[in-house]
Amino acid sequence: MAEDSAPRFSFPAICRKKVTAAFDGGRLTSDGGVVLLAQAEQRLGIAERLAACIADPRDQARVVHDLGDILRARMLAIACGYEDADDLDTLRHDPGFKLALGKLPGGATGLASQPTMSRWENAPTTRELVRMIGTLVDLYCASYPAPPVAVTLDIDETVDIVHGGQQLSFWNGHYGERCFLPIHVYDTATGRPVAMLLRTGKTPSGAETAHHVRRLVRRIRRHWPDTHITLRGDGHYGRPEIMEWCETNGLDYVFGLPGNKVIHADPVIIGHSDACATDRALDGLGVLRRYAETRYAAKSWGSTKRRVAARIEATSMGLDIRFVVTSIEAGTPEHIYDTLYCARGQAENLIKLHKTQLKSDRTSCRSANANQMRLILHTAAYWLMWKLRQAMPTGAALRNAEFATIRLRLIKVAARVVETASRIRIAFASACPDAALYRDLALTLRAASP
């Protein structure tokens, strides 16, 4: 931009010198870390995998922007904090993004514009979206160098408030809003995303959950026929349909179990509860926690009794008892509740990364298919951030950082892009605090690139 055409503005004078500013710095980018994300994407190949699931009816002789590049630009923008496709109208000429897409920063052709992005968000059919979700599951399995002996998958839904008459929106009395309740599935121990499914705003039934789990496990079994899978979820998933399916198909489960009068009246639970409350009062303790287990069968379970572990906590305010139903017979009730079940709390943090820090709740399209497509693209962006974090040295301070912190420290890095006849040079700020880590990541990802 020419100096005389850029609007100027001023700041307070410093040492009697006038301070003026204008957005006329030339070929600069505020997202110097996008090239790191591009290397992570190259390792995963996620854009091309997803593009292969969508039919492209365009005349290929006239195509300017390859479908893989369109999806790649969108997921890179999301990872950089630009969740709205509108931002692409400006970012399409950003030199950092152009380099990330393999284009010359000074080239006349920019990246795909917002209307192009929006058209492709609305383009996939339901069948194509199902294939894309399956591709993300394939990517999850391929992210392991060898099939693991066992994995634990956390399943949960999260509220996604809608505004307007979007398809699948539904009034939810618990949240007091019209919303979606998309299902998220994570391999929580490693932070890997497995599958994300947009669905209506009512709590899923046991039959619906069993249907989704059946399709998910069938896809995983294509890659890992011998891996032992444990499914973990809160009380919404402790339904007979899914427990019966898991038992029939060799999966273990650990689900929360809402309390009721029958289980609270169980002799074993009453005995341990009374003893816990009495001991707390006699010893003058503020809090006392005990554990117990019993065999229980709800009416909807028929005659099948299942193992139930109880966490009993006595305080001056009374008793608080929580229950977990599981197919796992080994281990104490304390191990089942504190070690196995409570570990699902980390899945809540992963959902926050996906929903809050990558803005995957920006499902504002009218069409349910378009909103599912957005959920897929945000999950792809999650994979890029996860891959970038995994590439860090073990002792790096950002190795366990949240995505927002990684974005601030490594992606939102200003750089000047200088293009000459024979080379392109990216000049970062000399005072960048994470320069050494950035350099290590660039070398690591480049060395591992196919």
Residues 141-164 have a mean pLDDT of: 95
End-to-end Cα, the chain, rounded Å:
38
pLDDT digit string, tens, across residues 412-437: 999 999 888 899 999 998 888 999 99
Which amino acid is it at 105? P
Q: What angle do CA 371, 120, 67 make, to 5 degrees?
A: 130
Question: 2: pLDDT confidence band, cut at 50, 70 and 90?
Answer: very low
pLDDT at 23 > cutoff 80: no
Strand order, beta sheet including 415-419: 28-29, 415-419, 424-428
For residue 109, what pLDDT is reported?
85
- Name the token pair of 268: 């074993």
pLDDT digit string, tens, across residues 247-297: 999 999 999 999 899 999 999 999 999 999 999 999 999 999 999 999 999
For residue 450, what pLDDT is reported?
52
- Name the token pair of 103: 């284009």
For residue 449, what pLDDT is reported?
55
pLDDT digit string, tens, across residues 361-397: 999 999 999 999 999 999 999 999 999 999 999 989 9
What CATH number belongs to 126-254+345-364?
A: 3.30.420.10
- What does each C-alpha distance from 32 to 70, 237, 365, 409 come to in angstroms? 20, 43, 30, 11
pLDDT at 303 > cutoff 90: no
For residue 8, what pLDDT is reported?
85
pLDDT at 298 > cutoff 70: yes
Strand order, beta sheet including 228-233: 192-197, 183-187, 150-157, 228-233, 252-257, 318-326, 306-315, 287-296
SS3 for 236-267 is HHCCHHHHHHHHHCCCEEEEEECCCHHHHCCH
Question: 163: pLDDT confidence band, cut at 50, 70 and 90?
Answer: confident
For residue 4, what pLDDT is reported?
53
Q: What residue has token string 């919303």? A: 179
Q: What is the mean pLDDT of the chain?
A: 93
pLDDT at 302 > cutoff 90: no
Q: What residue has token string 């490693």? A: 190
Nearest-angstrom CA–CA distance, 306 and 263: 12
Q: What residue has token string 């970038």? A: 388
For residue 25, what pLDDT is reported?
76
pLDDT digit string, tens, across residues 52-85: 999 999 999 999 999 999 999 999 999 999 998 8
pLDDT digit string, tens, across residues 92-141: 999 999 999 999 998 888 899 999 999 999 999 999 999 999 999 999 99
pLDDT digit string, tens, across residues 188-242: 999 999 999 999 999 999 999 999 999 999 999 999 999 999 999 999 899 999 9
pLDDT at 1 > cutoff 60: no
- The answer to whether residues 100 and 76 touch, using CB atoms and an 8 Å cutoff, is yes
pLDDT digit string, tens, across residues 39-48: 999 999 999 9
For residue 3, what pLDDT is reported?
46
pLDDT at 6 > cutoff 80: no
Instruction: Break the chain into its structural domains and give their ranges.
Output: 3-124+375-448, 126-254+345-364, 261-326
pLDDT digit string, tens, across residues 187-200: 999 999 999 999 99
Residues 159-173 have a mean pLDDT of: 91
Question: 448: pLDDT confidence band, cut at 50, 70 and 90?
Answer: low
pLDDT at 353 > cutoff 90: yes
